[in-house]
Amino acid sequence: MSNPRNDTSLFLDGSTVHDVVIIGTGFSGLAMGTQLKRRGNEDFIILERANEVGGTWRDNTYPGAACDQPSHMYSYSFRLNPDWSSIFSEQPEILDYLKATAEEEDLLPHVRFNANVDIATWDADTRTWVIQTSRGVVRGKVLVSAAGLLSEPRLPEIPGLGDFKGDVFHSARWDAGADLAGKRAGVVGTGASGIQIVPRIAPELEKLFVFQRTPHWVTPRGDYQYSEVEKRMYRRNPDRLQELRTSMFWENEERFAQRAAIPVLLAKAEQVALALLEEQVPDPELRARLTPDYAIGCKRILKSSDFYPALMRDNVDLVAEGISHIEADAVIGKNGGRYELDVLVLATGFEATEPPIAAHIVGTGGRTLAERWSGGAEAYQTTSVSGFPNLFLIGGPNTGIGHNSQVYMFEAQIEHIMGVLDLMRARGIAAVEVAREAEHAFIEEMEKKAATTVWLTGGCQTWYIDQRNGRLTTLWPDYSHSFQEQIPRVFEDSYMPV
């Protein structure tokens, strides 16, 4: 039998109208499929542009890739896993968990691999979404975009980048064939990805230059390997596992209070980070270059116990003065330094404020979601956008969370979508659209909540803020539990039949 993952033939002819079409097989797309299935709806397909499930955990294969949220929490509430090997599991283990979900929840027959969404258009006459993919056309009554919050790499606009003659790749597109042994490499970026890569690759390199633009606050990452005895206990006693998950969740929730910019909590968190810096970096001059000048929490607080020690290695240099330009064989610093390299790794983040999928979704009146969002991304209950009937977004505007598990957010959004689908079924409505007033009110509430948070007051530049309007459009500006309480609710008068 042929492997569906290798099949690229054109077989989607648009003749069938599915109940639901989902874009993406990452954490959120697989959860959406599972919930449909568990609630008795088999009439859905999942479009996946790659030939494997897993989303960001399939794509981020860089050395050291791991989740900085505890795995017992960064996993589905409906699929607890007693076998996580450690508190912060690495990428292969998380990908295996997602693959097992796809298989054990019997989602694979619903997945169309190698089906990139070219354009999805709302057809008002038939009240369906017509989705043109690289494998043909598919139609759905409802479209759910689970295309990912951080799926499109952002390449830095550094003069001369295209002239570099060595290997160059983004952290989320790691070149598995690149042999780093004995080479001279540069890593641009010291965010969550960069600080995981640096300690892992440093030992095999002849020389590593770490190009830091802004120092990040780093706190210790106390990891721990679960023993076989503990795993067995969790297997036999799922209540204990649930208790562990719950306690981790509430421990993390306390951290939102810092992001609310309460001075005493910020000071306490800064002390923890500064103590790590002091302990691990004895050189005061290097310490100064690694010390942020903005409030902690303004950028994602990083967790690492091996990033600073990696910088202390003889073969690793921190370049903190900025990059002037790039030449065929070197990065030139603003300090005039010439850093000769064989390999350049761009750990420079993702297109978050302007998600690329938005240019491929066309709503009423032929307007794309990107055009609708030209002043900044926004969505009612983080999930629906006026002008886009029967479209639901998972992981869209205001769904990012730095202090707790992203998976909780996706699950709450799925509950919202399920609620709207139930409403449509109960009322015999073929299509709904969110009322503009409800959308406005929700966005105003987001702005009000965001205004006093450290993300807007902390004095840093991040991808959390949309440069076009200065608003916090990617993050949820509140506790994670408030998202869980608020987002699943469906207020009937917020959705109008169309």
Footprint on this chain of ligand NAP (rule: CB under 6 A): 66-69, 150, 156-158, 171, 188-194, 211, 213-214, 300, 323, 347-350, 461, 463
Least spacing, CB of residue 218 vs ligand NAP, in Å: 12
Cβ proximity to ligand NAP, 101 vs 190, nearer residue: 190
Question: Which runs of consecutive H residues, i.e. helices, occur in 375-429?
Answer: 406-427
Least spacing, CB of residue 69 vs ligand NAP, in Å: 6
| Run of H or E including 194 | helix 194-201
- DSSP structure string for 228-285: HHHHHHHHH-HHHHHHHHHHHHHHHHTTHHHHTT-HHHHHHHHHHHHHHHHHH---HH
Query: What token pair was written down for 342?
Result: 């064989």
Query: Listing from the earlier edge strand, what are the strands of the sheet with 338-340?
Result: 323-327, 330-333, 338-340
Interhelix angle 228-236/238-253, rounded to 10 degrees, is 100
Least spacing, CB of residue 3 vs ligand NAP, in Å: 30
Cβ proximity to ligand NAP, 190 vs 280, nearer residue: 190
Least spacing, CB of residue 241 vs ligand NAP, in Å: 21
Residues near 352 by Cβ (< 8 Å), separated by ≥ 6? Answer: 149, 150, 400, 463, 464, 474
Distance CA(143)–CA(47), nearest Å, equals 11
Least spacing, CB of residue 59 vs ligand NAP, in Å: 11
Cβ proximity to ligand NAP, 156 vs 309, nearer residue: 156
Beta bridge partners, 273, equal none
Cβ proximity to ligand NAP, 120 vs 302, nearer residue: 302
Cβ proximity to ligand NAP, 49 vs 213, nearer residue: 213
Q: Which residues of 127-160 are buried (b: 16+ CB within 10 A; e: fewer)?
A: ebbbbbbebeebbbbbbbbbbbbbbebbebebee
Cβ proximity to ligand NAP, 66 vs 434, nearer residue: 66
Using CB positions, name the residue nearest to ligand NAP.
191
Distance CA(232)–CA(480), nearest Å, equals 30
Least spacing, CB of residue 267 vs ligand NAP, in Å: 22
Cβ proximity to ligand NAP, 238 vs 459, nearer residue: 459
Cβ proximity to ligand NAP, 350 vs 380, nearer residue: 350
Least spacing, CB of residue 88 vs ligand NAP, in Å: 7
Cβ proximity to ligand NAP, 32 vs 149, nearer residue: 149
The residue among 438, 437, 429, 430 whose CA lies nearest residue 490 is 438
Q: Which parts of 357-420 are beta strand (E)? A: 361-362, 391-393
Least spacing, CB of residue 225 vs ligand NAP, in Å: 18
Cβ proximity to ligand NAP, 156 vs 166, nearer residue: 156
Least spacing, CB of residue 464 vs ligand NAP, in Å: 9
SS3 at position 403 = coil
Least spacing, CB of residue 303 vs ligand NAP, in Å: 8
φ, ψ of residue 347 in degrees (nearest 5): -100, 60
Distance CA(119)–CA(396), nearest Å, equals 18
Handedness of CA 196, 306, 181, 326 (dihedral sign): positive
